[in-house]
Amino acid sequence: MLVLCLSAAEDFDWTKNNHGSFYYGTFPAGFSWGAGGSAYQTEGAWDKDGKGLSIWDVFSHKKGKIQLNDTGDSSCEGYYKIKDDISLMKDLRLNHYRFSIAWPRIIPTGVKSDHVNEKGIQYYDELIDHLLESNITPIVTLYHWDLPQVLQEKYGGWQNISMVNYFNDFANLCFEKFGDRVKHWITFNNPWSVAVEGYETGEHAPGMRLRGNGAYRAAHHIIKAHAKVWHTYDTQWREKQKGLVGISLSGDWGEPVDISNQKDIEAAERYVQFYLGWFATPIFHGDYPQVMKDFVGRKSVQQGLGTSRLPTFSPQEKSYIKGTCDFLGIGHFTTRYITHRNDPPSRSSNSYFTDRDLAELVDPRWPDPGSEWLYSVPWGFRRLLNFVKTQYGNPNIYVTENGVSEKMMCTELCDEWRIQYYKDYINEMLKAIRDGVNVKGYTAWSLLDKFEWDEGYSERFGLYYVDFRNKNKPRYPKASVQFYKRVISSNGFPNQREVENWKRKAVEMCSSSNQLLAAEEQRSTAANILRLIHDPLTSHMEMVTEIVVPTVCTLSILISAVLLMFLLRRRN
Ligand code: NOJ
């Protein structure tokens, strides 16, 4: 990745923002605080109780696709831990919890007329009922990337228009079964990722590399499917159920490298339009952003193609799609500096990325504690929210994802950098609300450490640490739990003294949890070694799978365990 050292731009005058200043104040009454997760990332139970396979089950079982060849087979075992996890949410005093329904768990082949899996319905019924009993509003995503494998194999998944009807049938079933209790529906989570990483680069399931076409085609069908589901709700359920249907889009902010250079300003705008605007513009205005039509169209002509690689909507489709959003979900994590770059078209190597004619840069001084792509740039959040306000007619917004990961494989519950990230990002959201942006709720991402797609378990986003090496997948609060809890109970940031106090206390408390967890880890590793001594044949397999991460900390635990084994043998 290119790295450019720059001082942060100072010209943002929507708000006369001063990057350094922290705003003390509270959120509007009724603001909804939440946390989230998704089915494949947390549920586990991948082949239990009649669930069908999803593209992620199949993809993660292929060697070489996921870090350390991890899978979501058991993940956090959330399927078996409804009550445990809801008690964590209660402890945080969450107003809402965002989760997704695994399509193949309730319709194993993806085709409703084939079979509906009652056990799957029961699981989500139970989850929803327990949330409501605990006064936690469910915000439910219908598609968080786990397409039924059969639909991928038979039709090519989102490359095929037939997904629109299959998805609509699935959504309709969810409205029928759960809509009496669920009032916030999200059709798709982060369709950008589905299209680009699933069908263009192939880093995500189903792993297709259809450069230059695959992403645009997948996105086209997803937008149509979203609109159809919104209309289904609007005509068949809204009157009775009185709920809302939105979509959750992700978007990094793009800031021009040189704010006095018109080409950079346009390139930064293009970056955001090709990201968030690709989906938001059709949904709010009926068609793709003009700049996408111009750039992809021109490059297609230069390639010698008769038509643009960006598909087109008919006039009927445009009016059908326009306005199909009761609220907009925004998933936001980071920002890039953007500069103009000519990517000349070639016959063979065109892609979504080269269509944009730009380069992405980062400031090496931006903190990046976890995922390689995730730099902490809080001011970008406020800019993105203001962009949404001005571009799409100030819609109601739920922030559906925001948070930061850590890479450490050693246990670390004292996540000061996450506290800092949440503090600053939530503060920029507060400033955006003062700018007039209609943000109605915020979802910390994520409640638990979980399966992080192609990164496996190597990146931990959770407020709660999950010990994946222990079969019971115990959860431990990180310091950020204490901090977020205070933000929620104060509905914002009352004053400097208190906020500093929260931070200090959170970090004080975590060191004792850290010790507890380390002791527990040591105990369970020693117990495994003992089992190995007594029953070498049966326990050997477990040992091999449980001790997978040769980090300094696991090695030191192992050495102490081997010593223990040695001492025990000598005593016998
Ligand atoms: C967006 C995805 O929707 C979510 O599932 C994932 O955990 C985060 N990005 C972080 O990578």
Q: Whose CA is nearest to atom 10 of ligand 1?
A: 452
Residue 87 token pair: 């008690």
**What residues contact residue 513 under an 8 Å CB cut-off, 6+ apart?**
413, 476, 477
425 CA from centroid of ligand 1 (Å): 17
Which pLDDT belongs to residue 528?
Answer: 56
Is the shortest distance between the CB of 482 and ligand 1 below 6 Å? no
Mutate to test the pocket of ligand 1, among 188, 401, 449 (most ligand atoms within 8 A of CB): 401
**Alpha-carbon dihedral sign for residues 173, 175, 176, 181:** positive
Mean pLDDT of 451-473: 96
What is the pLDDT at residue 349?
Answer: 78
The whole-number pLDDT of residue 369 equals: 85
Reference 137, options 89, 188, 169; nearest CA is: 89
CA distance 436 to 274: 25
329 ligand 1 Cβ < 6 A: no
Contact 446, 465 (CB under 8 A): no
The DSSP-derived string for 267-311 is HHHHHHIIIIIHHHHHHHHSS--HHHHHHHHHHHHHTT-SS-SS-
What are the distances in angstroms from CA 89 to CA 46, 69, 130, 160? 24, 31, 11, 39
The 10s digit of each residue's pLDDT in 311-362 is: 999 999 999 999 999 999 999 999 999 999 998 877 667 899 999 999 999 9
Considering only CA atoms, which of 93, 15, 9 is closest in space to residue 433? 15
Rounded CA separation 432/438 (Å) = 8
Q: Are β-strands 464-466 and 358-361 bridged in parallel, bridged antiparallel, or unpaired?
A: unpaired
Orientation angle between helical segments 479-490 and 82-92, nearest 10 degrees? 60
Atom 5 in ligand 1: residue holding the nearest Cα: 38
- The answer, yes or no, to whether any atom of ligand 1 lies below 6 A from the CB of 331, is yes
Nearest atom within ligand 1 for CA of residue 41: 5
Tell me how far the alpha carbon of residue 77 is from its chain's centroid: 18
What positions carry a catalytic annotation? 401
Taking the C-alpha atoms of residue 416 and residue 373, their distance in angstroms, rounded to an integer, is 20
Residue 144 has pLDDT above 60, yes or no: yes
How far does residue 401's CA lie from ligand 1's centre (Å)? Answer: 8
CB–CB of 158/212 below 8 Å? no
Both tokens of 201, joined, read: 């680069």
What is the distance in A from the centroid of ligand 1 to the CA of 26?
28
Q: Is the CB of 141 under 6 A from ligand 1?
A: no
Question: If you measure from the C-alpha of residue 38 to the centroid of ligand 1, how many angstroms do you get, rounded to a whole number?
Answer: 9
Between 133 and 559, where is the model more confident? Answer: 133
Query: What number does the ligand 1 atom closest to the CA of 459 have?
Result: 11
Mean pLDDT of 147-172: 98
| Percent of the chain at pLDDT exceeding 90 | 81
Tell me the sheet residues that pair with 191. Answer: none
Q: Are 145 and 194 in contact (CB under 8 A)?
A: yes
Q: State the residue for tokens 């955006």.
A: 432
CA–CA dist 506, 515 (Å, integer):
15
Tell me the Cα Rg of the chain. Answer: 24
* Closest Cα to atom 2 of ligand 1: 190
Residue to probe by mutation, ligand 1, list 66, 146, 452, 458, most atoms within 8 Å of CB: 452
Please report the pLDDT score of residue 570 as a whole number.
Answer: 52
**What global pTM score does this model have?**
0.89
Closest C-alpha residue for ligand 1 atom 7: 452
190 C-alpha vs ligand 1 centroid, how far in Å?
A: 8
Provide the 3-class DSSP secondary structure of residue 393. coil
Residue 554 has a pLDDT of 42
β-pair partners for 250: 331
Ligand 1 atom closest to the Cα of residue 38 is 5
How far, in Å, from the CA of 263 to the mean position of ligand 1? 31
Report the C-alpha gap between 255 and 432 in whole angstroms. 17
Q: What is the pLDDT of residues 204-224, one digit of tens each?
A: 999 999 999 999 999 999 999
Q: What's the full length of the chain, in residues?
A: 572
Q: For residue 140, which of 495, 502, 443 has the smallest C-alpha distance?
A: 443
Quick one: pLDDT at residue 561? 54
Q: What value does the mean pLDDT take over residues 114-139?
A: 98
Task: Tell me how far the alpha carbon of residue 541 lies from the centroid of ligand 1, in angstroms.
Answer: 32
Q: How far apart are CA 333 and CA 327, in angstroms?
A: 20
Helix (H, G, I), strand (E, B) or coil at 62: coil
> E strand or H helix at 25, and its extent?
strand 25-26
Q: Is 354 in the pocket of ligand 1 (CB under 6 A)?
A: no
**Rounded-to-integer distance, Cα 98 and Cα 60, Å:** 24
User: Binning pLDDT at 50, 70 and 90, where does residue 532 land?
Assistant: very low
- Give the pLDDT band (50/70/90) at residue 410: low
- Predicted confidence (pLDDT) at residue 565 exceeds the cutoff of 60: no
Report CA(127)–ligand 1 centroid distance (Å).
22
Ligand 1 contact, 189 CB (< 6 A) = yes
Q: Is any ligand 1 atom within 6 A of the Cβ of residue 455?
A: no
178: helix, strand or coil: helix
- Pocket of ligand 1 contains residue 191 by CB under 6 Å: no
Local confidence band at 525 (pLDDT 50, 70, 90 cut-offs): low
| DSSP three-state, residue 238 | helix
For residues 195 and 222, the answer to whether their CB atoms sit within 8 Å is yes
Q: Is 376 in the pocket of ligand 1 (CB under 6 A)?
A: no
**Secondary structure of 83-126 in the HEC alphabet?**
HHHHHHHHHHCCCEEEEECCHHHHCCCCCCCCCCCHHHHHHHHH
